[in-house]
């Protein structure tokens, strides 16, 4: 087609496919097979599944989303959270006062005895391994493992309008001086053979919340290279980003810049399409 328009009928068709349980990558492939140009198909999917998520009903919402109604301070389960920055594409929101100083210290204390060298997913098998791209130490809590975990998980669920059961357990990471996490995507590459068994546990990852448990003396920002955005690590703040498609067009390539002085502690929460088991 020389010129392909995103019509209301096309948007409705995409919504129907999502309601029928088809994932975004399956819908994308179906559109391409029907003759849609990939760029047009991606734009249509993002309009429906990302930009429209704030207005969608909870039953048909397909990506987590922050709904502020123009307010700079929103209620999240048990406290008010400040909305400091919002970016539409990529969908990035920075929050202030997400965690109290006491919660930051308590989470670090609970995690400390179980810290080991962080691992990354092996695309070919779906297993995990130590990799030089990620030089932090970390551990995972089970979802709802402690009262503190349950409180934070409920706060995230309320803030991004996503069910608690669709979240993985909180991961706590410690970056020593010089440690970093090179730029990567959080979704699982659908073209890799190791992805299929991972998706059985709850579908694709569709959103991430990174919570800062301390403020490094220097360095350690969360970087979004494709968007030219850096989010500095400040104790108690958090950054949320959503990616409705497992595709680089979401511009959610991100990394943890090297810590130059001091250390950096973060807690990460990944959100899945379906209940995570």
Domain 73-272 annotated CATH 3.40.640.10: no
CB atoms within 10 A of CB 19: 11
- The 3-class secondary structure across 49-87, one letter per residue, is HHHCCCCCCHHHCCCCCCCCCCCCEEEECCEEEEEEEEE
pLDDT (tens digit, 9 = 90+) per residue, 17-60?
877 778 788 888 999 999 999 888 888 887 776 544 444 433 34
Residue pair 91/79 in contact by the 8 Å Cβ criterion: no
Residue 273: the pLDDT is: 96
Compute the residue count for the chain.
277
pLDDT (tens digit, 9 = 90+) per residue, 230-262?
999 999 999 999 998 898 989 999 999 999 999
For the whole prediction, is pTM greater than 0.85?
Answer: no
CB atoms within 10 A of CB 109: 10
| pLDDT band, residue 127 (cuts 50/70/90) | low
Closest CA to 93 of 76, 75, 69, 68: 68
Count Cβ neighbours within 10 Å for each residue of 33-55 and write b for 16 or more, e otherwise: eeebeeebbbebbbebbbebbee
Residue pair 118/169 in contact by the 8 Å Cβ criterion: no
Task: Name every residue whose Cβ is closer than 8 Å to that of residue 32 and which is 6 or more positions away in sequence.
Answer: 38, 41
pLDDT (tens digit, 9 = 90+) per residue, 83-118?
999 999 999 999 999 999 999 999 999 999 999 977
Task: Name every residue whose Cβ is closer than 8 Å to that of residue 114 and which is 6 or more positions away in sequence.
Answer: 139
What kind and span of H or E run contains 24?
Answer: helix 24-33
Distance CA 35, CA 251 (A): 25
pLDDT (tens digit, 9 = 90+) per residue, 148-177?
999 999 999 999 999 999 999 999 999 999
Residue 59: the pLDDT is: 37
Distance CA 51, CA 53 (A): 6
Residue 51: the pLDDT is: 46
Please give the biggest Cα pair distance in the chain.
60
Phi and psi at residue 243, in whole multiples of 5°? Answer: -145, 95
Count Cβ neighbours within 10 Å for each residue of 259-272 and write b for 16 or more, e otherwise: beebbbbbbbbbbb
Residue 149: the pLDDT is: 98
């Amino acid at each position: 087609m020389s010129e392909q328009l995103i019509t209301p009928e096309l948007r409705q068709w995409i919504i129907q496919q999502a309601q029928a349980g088809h994932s975004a990558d399956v819908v994308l492939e179906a559109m391409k097979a029907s003759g849609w140009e990939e760029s047009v198909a991606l734009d249509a999917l993002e309009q429906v599944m990302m930009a429209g998520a704030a207005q969608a009903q909870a039953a048909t919402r397909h990506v987590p989303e922050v709904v502020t109604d123009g307010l700079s301070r929103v209620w999240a389960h048990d406290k008010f959270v400040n909305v400091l920055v919002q970016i539409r594409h990529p969908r990035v929101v920075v929050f202030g006062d997400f965690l109290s100083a006491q919660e930051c210290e308590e989470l670090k204390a609970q995690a400390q005895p179980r810290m080991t060298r962080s691992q990354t997913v092996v695309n070919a098998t779906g297993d995990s391994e130590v990799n030089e791209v990620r030089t932090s130490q970390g551990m995972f809590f089970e979802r709802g493992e402690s009262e503190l975990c349950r409180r934070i998980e409920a706060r995230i669920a309320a803030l991004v309008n996503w069910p608690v059961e669709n979240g993985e357990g909180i991961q706590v990471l410690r970056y020593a001086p010089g440690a970093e996490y090179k730029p990567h995507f959080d979704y699982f590459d659908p073209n890799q053979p190791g992805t299929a068994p991972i998706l059985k546990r709850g579908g694709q990852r569709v959103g991430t919340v990174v919570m800062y448990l301390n403020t490094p003396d220097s360095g350690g920002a969360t970087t979004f290279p494709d968007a030219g955005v850096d989010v500095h690590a400040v104790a108690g703040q958090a950054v949320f980003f959503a990616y409705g498609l497992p595709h680089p067009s979401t511009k959610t390539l991100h990394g943890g810049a090297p810590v130059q002085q001091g250390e950096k502690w973060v807690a990460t929460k990944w959100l899945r399409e379906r209940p995570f088991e």
